[in-house]
């Protein structure tokens, strides 16, 4: 929404603990307060960036900042050699399953 309205100044920074659990967040920019309740709940409940990335928001919304930051973290974790190997093994295993 910020892009649509031409108000792209600002940033979102997620502070992560072990296993990408959200331990804090900083949101600076127009309507930053709109995302704070969701991020506060995520910290209190020990949610991960995967949980945040899997959350559906109306589009476009100013709340996309934390979602985009979470997506970046999930992508980075999936691009490690271990994750790529695991994904390959899962895909290979599914390919050998009989069709339903």
Q: What is the mean pLDDT of residues 57-75?
A: 80
Q: What is the mean pLDDT of residues 1-10?
A: 70
What is the Rg, in whole angstroms, of the alpha carbon atoms belonging to the chain? 17
CB atoms within 10 A of CB 55: 13
More confident residue, 14 or 5: 14
Which tens digit of pLDDT belongs to each residue from 27-65?
998 888 888 888 999 999 999 999 998 888 777 777 778
69 has pLDDT over 90? no
CATH class, domain 11-95, is: alpha beta
Contact predicate 12/68, CB 8 Å: yes
């Amino acid at each position: 929404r910020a892009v649509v309205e031409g108000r792209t100044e600002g940033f979102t920074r997620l502070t992560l603990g072990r296993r990408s659990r959200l331990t804090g967040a900083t949101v600076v920019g127009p309507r930053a307060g709109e995302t704070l309740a969701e991020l506060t709940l995520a910290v209190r409940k020990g949610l991960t960036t995967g949980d945040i990335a899997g959350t559906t928001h109306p589009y476009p919304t100013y709340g996309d900042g934390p979602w985009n930051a979470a997506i970046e973290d999930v992508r980075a974790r999936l691009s490690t050699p271990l994750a790529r190997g695991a994904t390959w093994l899962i895909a290979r295993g599914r390919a050998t399953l009989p069709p339903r």
